[in-house]
Amino acid sequence: MKKQQNLLLWKMLYVLIMIGIGYGVYASSKSLSYNWRWERIPQYLISFQPTDIKAPFDGSIESVDPKEHKIVVQSDSGQTFVVTKYDKAIAHTGDLVFEGDTVATIKGWHLGSISWGLVMTLKISAVALVFAMIIGLFTGLARISHNPVLRYLSVTYIEVIRGTPLLVQIFIFYFFIGTVLNLDRFTAGVAALSVFTGAYIAEIIRAGIQSIHPGQMEAARSLGMNYIKAMVYVILPQAFKRTLPPLAGQFINLIKDSSLVSVISITDLTKAGREVVSSTFAPFEVWFTVAILYLVLTGSLSWVIQKLEKRLSASD
């Protein structure tokens, strides 16, 4: 009973501290006489503005038929462009149009630029995560291999990558390797992130494998499994379970590190945030929103991994 009371007290203290911090933020923004304009943010997440339907070429409006709900655009060279799905016609029959002119508008929602940035961050992180796992797994295995060439190569890779900043690696991938191999921004960004994270995952996996009792490998081999089967069916599943917490940390780092690819003009969440700041002049609101969205991503990932850990703990 006494213990419980104490716990309640601590919880109350926690809430008080959090309120204090919140008030601190509020008070400091007051002292800056900052004008909060939260209402400017939602449109960059999701927008209900009508979308423009644009003419794909120079030409003229052949017909606007409200009855059949159809707009026909004729190009100077004889092509036609037919719009049947629209809500409001802007052009009239006989109008001259140039490429990119709005012909009609259509209602409905679409994602704002911050949301597109979020999607890009998610995409880059997911693709990089898959490649980083593959690189990490093979490098980790090479690291404990009996073949000295494999061992030296993997150690060199790990040391070089861990000893240089990710930002510099991204520049090297984009400007040097990207130019030599003719990579686009996205590929260069994903490659840099995968190679960077792979080095850390390799060390985690190596430690995980080495933490499995050698008797497990001996038992598997004595049952007639070759090295690869013993690894795949006996060692790696156990090592994976054991390394899940550090791997989760590395995955979360990957999501956060992905913000650095904005330096090579990939419009991820961070770059989208920067763009929105320059068009709204509401930097505090935008950066808080961006931070919360990163938190949502990393938070969901930890949640999924915790579930996975729970499921794997059935054998404990």
Partner 1 sequence: MTNPILKDSIIVADSVDKIYPNGCHALKKVSLNIKKGEVVVIIGPSGSGKSTFLRTLNQLETISDGTIHIDDINLTHKETNINKVREEVGMVFQSFNLFPHKTALGNVMLSPMKVLKKSAKEAEAEAKDLMAKVGLADRMNNYPSHLSGGQQQRVAIARALAMSPKIMLFDEPTSALDPEMVGEVLDVMKSLAGGGMTMVVVTHEMGFAREVADRVVFMEDGELVFEETPDRFFESDNQRLQRFLGQVL
Residue ranges binding partner 1 (CB under 8 A): 213, 215-216, 218-226, 229, 233-234, 237-238, 241, 312, 314-316
The CB-of-220 to partner 1 minimum distance in angstroms stands at 8
Q: Nearer to partner 1 by C-beta: 220 or 264?
A: 220
Output the smallest distance, CB 217 to partner 1, in A: 9
Tell me whether residue 145 or residue 226 sits nearer to partner 1 (CB atom). 226
Helix segments in 51-110, DSSP class H: none
DSSP secondary structure string, 198-212? HHHHHHHHHHHHHTS
How far is the C-alpha of 83 from the C-alpha of 81, rounded, in Å? 7
- Choice between 150 and 225, CB closer to partner 1: 225
Q: Which residues contact 310 (CB under 8 A, 6 or more apart)?
A: none
CB atoms within 10 A of CB 246: 16
Q: Which is nearer to partner 1, 16 or 223 (CB)?
A: 223
Q: How far is the CB of 147 from partner 1 (least distance, A)?
A: 17
Distance in angstroms (rounded) separating the CA atoms of residues 228 and 266: 39
Structure token pair of residue 230: 């013993």
The pair of structure tokens assigned to 111 is 């994602």
State the minimum distance, in angstroms, from the CB of residue 32 to partner 1: 56
CB of residue 208 vs partner 1: minimum separation in angstroms? 13
Give bridge partners of residue 97 from the DSSP assignment: 59
In this complex, which beta carbon is closest to partner 1, that of residue 65 or of residue 218?
Answer: 218
